[in-house]
Chains A and B, each alone.
Chain A
Amino acid sequence: MYICINKVLRMHIPDSFIPLLQAAVYWLVALVFIALSLRWARAEMREEKVPLVAVLTAGIFAIQAINVPIPWGTSGHMMGAALAAIVLGSPFAAVFVLTLVLIVQGVLFGDGGITVMGANIINMGVIGGFVGFSSYKGLNRVLKNPYPAAFAAAWLSLFVAALACAVEMALAGTFPLGLGLFSMGLYHAVIGVIEGALTAIALFLISSARPRHPLARIRG
């Protein structure tokens, strides 16, 4: 059963891991959010914002390819949902960005299954995006500093997404719930630190490169 941990750790669930019926349900939920994210894109994206979205998406794809070794003979990679949500100012941005990344990853590179892509989109795009965005807003208000807020929000987004993944595995019968929550939680608590650090750094780089960006508004 340990290969489950390995593959599941990348959080890009492969095809065989969820029964088709559940996978279909996840897809339906994902499609709702994808539709909402397209509506967000139509409403919010002005032409000048398109390069930022495109570069951010490409950057998240690239950084997801980097595996960072963590303790216990394992590795992790950044998710990027919180970053997308924070920089673009909406959790739906994360859904938009992560969905694109996941589609290219799944179709072109076999990273993450096709039938189960709905679940992956929910975990990384929806849960990652919403948890990341709302916790960032809340923490930023309290801490008055976007960088620790982003760090913590990104950590939380990854951690919660990982737990959701463990729940899905348990529902699928692929992995026992207790063990799944424990191992996914443990690993992603550590990977979350990487996510948090990279998110804060990227946030800093992007906001210094674009002082006109509404990020200044978010910082306030």
Chain B
Amino acid sequence: MIIALVIAVAAPFIASSNPDGLESAFFGIFGAKEIHGTDLDEDAAGAAEEQVQEITGNTFSFEAPFPDYSIEGLSKMGEALAIVIGTILVLAIAFGLGKALSRPE
């Protein structure tokens, strides 16, 4: 009952995580731009990434299974799916961890 109510509250979150709802502005931003501007510079973006690594010396790189929420070959639908999977996974982990840590009433 309470659980159902709480999940009902969460459902809108899960439903609206469809990246089709995202403005194309998000993808437009993926690169270099002025702080107040909207123009992109892809070359500067790539160069900047390397510059940063040179400054910090941190070249650790981790290959995530679903980088940037993408699933091979599925583009936007894949992203939606990835986010839904992630949400369910987080739910499961949080629930499991919570149960492990909690005391019974």
> Which residues of A pack against B, CB within 8 Å?
1-6, 15-20, 23, 38, 41-42, 45-59, 61-63, 65-67, 69, 72-75, 97, 100-101, 104-111, 113-116, 172-174, 183, 186, 202, 205-206, 209-210, 212
Contact = CB atoms under 8 A, between A and B. Distances in A.
Q: Interface on chain A toward B: helix, strand, loop, or mixed SS? A: helix
Contacts of B94: 53-54, 57-58, 97, 100
A59 B52 contact: no
Given A48-B2, A172-B55, A209-B8, A15 B14 contact: no
B15 to A, nearest CB: 9
Interface string B67-105: 111000000000000110011111111110111011111
A50 B98 contact: yes
Nearest to B5: A209
A107 B89 CA distance: 12
Find the residue from A56, A74, A109 having the highest chain B CB count within 10 A: A109
B25 A47 contact: no
A15 B88 CA distance: 26
B103 A47 contact: yes
Contacts of B88: 58
B95 A106 contact: no
A46 B33 CA distance: 49
A50 B99 contact: yes
Given A3-B49, A62-B17, A210-B5, A19 B68 contact: no
Contacts of B6: 51-52, 55, 206, 209-210
B48 A3 contact: yes
B42 to A, nearest CB: 10
Given A51-B95, A66-B16, A111 B58 contact: no
A100 B61 contact: no
23 contacts: A5-B35, A6-B45, A15-B60, A41-B102, A42-B102, A47-B104, A54-B91, A55-B91, A59-B10, A59-B14, A65-B19, A66-B22, A72-B37, A73-B37, A74-B25, A101-B90, A107-B62, A109-B69, A115-B60, A172-B55, A202-B9, A209-B8, A210-B2
Find the residue from B14, B19, B28, B101 having the highest chain A CB count within 10 A: B101
Contacts of A59: 9-10, 13-14, 87
Interface in B27-49: 28-39, 41, 44-45, 48-49
